Amino acid sequence: MIVSLVLMRLDYGNATLAGISATLLNRLQSVLNAAARSVTGLRLLDHITVTVASLHWLRAPEQITFKLAVIIYCALHSTAPRYLSDQLH
């Protein structure tokens, strides 16, 4: 329950994280890795890359890029709020 709440919060606000430093991206990725370990029951020393891929989760920088792409797509196709669509030319 707590893991899903954390993931929802990270996914909701990740578009605002565009342009953050590599240090903060690494911290965010650590949180996502810890969530994946919690969900799957992996130990700390187990490799996480395959597990994250099996969960179909994107890495932190890829999540941010994807969310921005979705927002721009919605704005261009008039399914986003008007204030966003008005900002694109």
pTM: 0.78
Q: Name the phi and psi angles at 74, rounded to 5.
A: -65, -40
Report how far residue 21's alpha carbon sits from residue 34's, in angstroms, rounded to the nearest whole number: 20
Report how far residue 10's alpha carbon sits from residue 66's, in angstroms, rounded to the nearest whole number: 13
Q: Return the pLDDT at 86.
A: 84
Report how far residue 72's alpha carbon sits from residue 77's, in angstroms, rounded to the nearest whole number: 9
- pLDDT (tens digit per residue) in 16-46: 888 999 999 999 899 899 989 988 999 988 8
Task: Report the candidate in 8, 2, 79, 64 with the shortest Cα–Cα distance to residue 38.
Answer: 2
